[in-house]
Structure 1
Amino acid sequence: MAHTPVNHPARPIYRAIGGLTGLYLVVFGVLGIIATAGNDVLAQDDTRVLGQGTNLVFSLVSIVFGIIVLAGTALGRNIDVVINQWVAYVLMVVGLGGLAFIRTDANIFNFNIGTVIVLMVAGMVLLMVGMYGKVGTDQEKEAWQKARLVL
C-alpha cells in the first residue's frame, strides 16, 4: 500500500497549486519566446526572463511541460497525480543537469543559477501536489488511515 494520503482534505488547494505551477511554466515559456525572438535556437547569451536564463528551446520545453501540467489538472481523476509526479521528476533532473553544466559549453538551455533554483522549487511543488492530490474510494481512504495508525 502506498504511503500517500487518499482524499486529503486540502486536495482542491493542492490541485490549484499544481495548476498555478503549470500556468507559471507556460507564462515563462511565452515570455521567453518573446525575449529570444531573433536569437539562435540554442543561444548561450545573457537573455533573462523573470530572472532566469533561457533560450528558444528551453522556452518551448517550458510551454510543453506547463501545458501537460495544466491538462492533467483539468482532467483530474488521479491522472493529475501521475503527471505532476513525473513532470516533477523531469524538472528536478533537468535542473540538476543544468547545474552540472552551468559554466560550460554544454549549457544548451542557457541556464543560470536562478533557473536551476526555480526548476527545483517547481519540481518539489509538483511532487508535493502529486503526493497529496490522490482521490480514492471511501474504502481506500479507510484502509490508508488504518495503515497510517498502525505505523
Structure 2
Amino acid sequence: MAHTPVNHPARPIYRAIGGLVGLYLVVFGVLGVIASAGNDLFAQDDTKVLGQGTNLGFSLLSILLGIVVLAGTVIGRNLDVAINQFMAYGLMVLGLAELAFLQTDANIGNFSILTVIVVLTLSLVLLMAGMYGKVGTDEEKEAFEKARLVL
C-alpha cells in the first residue's frame, strides 16, 4: 500500500496548485520564446525572462512541460497525480543537472542560479500536489485510514 493519502480533504486545492505550476511554465515559456526569438536554440547569452536565464530551447521545453501538466490537471482521474510526480522528478533532475553545469559551456538551458532555484521549487510543489491529490473509492480511503492508524 502506498503511503500517500487517498481522498485528502484538500485535494482540489492541490490539484489547482498543480495547474498553477503548469500555467506558470507555459507563461514563462511563451515569454521566453518571445524574448529569445532570433537566437540560437541553445544560445548562452544574457536573455532573461522574469529574472531567470533562458534560451529558446529551455523556453520550448517549459511550454511542453506546462501543457502536459495542464492536460493532466484538466483530465484528473489520478492521471494528474502520476504526471505531477513524474514531472516533479524530471524537474529535479533538470535543476540539479543545470546546477552542476551552471558556470560551464555545458549550460545548454542558459540557466542562472535563480532559474535553478525556481525549477527546484516548482518540482517540490508539483511533488506535493502529486502526493496529496490521489482520488480513490471509499474502501481505499478506509483502508488507508486503518493502515495509518496502525502505524
TM-score (ref. length: structure 1): 0.99
Q: How many residues align?
A: 151
Amino acid in the other structure paired with 1:5: P
Match of 2:72 in 1: 72
Displacement of 1:143 in angstroms is 0.3
Deviation at 1:51, TM superposition (A): 0.9
For residues 87 and 108 of structure 1, the distance between their equivalents in structure 2, rounded to whole angstroms, comes to 20
Is 1:99 the equivalent of 2:121? no
Q: Output the aligned Cα RMSD.
A: 0.4
Task: Note the 1:6-25 alignment, pairs <5 A.
Answer: 6-25=6-25
Q: Distance in 2 between matches of 1:51 and 1:68?
A: 24
Answering whether residue 6 of structure 2 is matched by residue 3 of structure 1, we say no
Which runs of 5 or more residues in structure 1 are unaligned? none
**Where do residues 42-121 of structure 1 align in structure 2 (5 Å cutoff)?**
42-121=42-121
2:125: which partner in 1? 125
Letter in 2 for 1:18: G
Residue 42 of structure 1: SS of its match in structure 2?
A: coil
Q: Distance in 1 between matches of 2:107 and 2:125?
A: 25
Deviations 1:41-70 (A, max 9, x none): 110001100011000000000000000000
**What TM-score does the superposition give when structure 2 sets the normalisation length?**
0.99
- Give the corresponding residue for 2:37: 37
Once the two structures are TM-superposed, the CA of residue 131 in structure 1 deviates from its matched residue by 0.2
Residue 16 of structure 1: how far off its partner (Å): 0.4
Structure 2: gaps (5+ residues): none
Task: For residues 87-141 of structure 1, give each alpha carbon's deviation from its aligned partner in whole angstroms, at most 9, with x where no partner exists.
Answer: 0000010000000000000000100000000000000000000000000000000
Distance 2:93 2:107 in 1: 14
